[in-house]
Amino acid sequence: GDSVTQMEGPVTLSEEAFLTINCTYTATGYPSLFWYVQYPGEGLQLLLKATKADDKGSNKGFEATYRKETTSFHLEKGSVQVSDSAVYFCAPGPSDRGSTLGRLYFGRGTQLTVWP
Amino acid sequence: EAGVTQFPSHSVIEKGQTVTLRCDPISGHDNLYWYRRVMGKEIKFLLHFVKESKQDESGMPNNRFLAERTGGTYSTLKVQPAELEDSGVYFCASSPDYTDTQYFGPGTRLTVL
């Protein structure tokens, strides 16, 4: 069945460091891929998404590229800030193969802490 | 445009009691989803409504959980009777179409003592 493997945390970085959070998935067909973020005390927010192979999603300096050949969607940011401290979730979503199942499959989440 | 809202934000109950969680999706979103995150584990899908119909309820853990979406607007998730392992954060999400981005509510933190 569909599943996702996400780099386990916690990840602790200094401000302006480079961030990579790995995410690989297994899925039927070619799902849309999402990164969600949960800031302290808040709900899940969409960070970025990609809907087809080689698409790059980007937002707030974060980027992730849909890699069909490696079934990966790694999250990167060139220079993290203290305000990026949060839990990050990788989530494959519905496939383009006509499935009526709309569920997202979440990883365990990666806790990121950025120190000044 | 108002986002997805959930009520209550926190609930503390004793084992054996009943709790009802409510979710109000974004207006016009036919698709409504419930997810749950037990402490330290992944967020798991519970079920998916399309309007008032249950499209997929394969993630519901057992028959102590009952979800409804009368009229295709807000949804409720009832746990009866609650057990200790039901503790966690329950998230609701909505989307216009099942292929669209899902927008999440802030979650309800349920603690069963």
Closest residue of B to A48, CA-based? B101
Confidence class of residue B1 from pLDDT cuts 50, 70 and 90? Answer: low
- Half-sphere exposure (CA, 13 Å, Cβ side) for A60? 13
Q: What is the pLDDT of residues B87-107, one digit of tens each?
A: 999 999 999 988 788 999 999
Shortest distance, CA A14 to any CA of chain B (angstroms): 24
Q: Could you give the C-alpha distances from B66 to A24, B11, B106, in angstroms and in order?
A: 33, 17, 21
Q: What is the mean pLDDT of residues A27-51?
A: 89
**In the predicted model, what is the mean pLDDT of chain A?**
89
3-state secondary structure of A87: strand
Residue of A42, A44, A55 to mutate for B, most B C-beta atoms under 10 A: A44
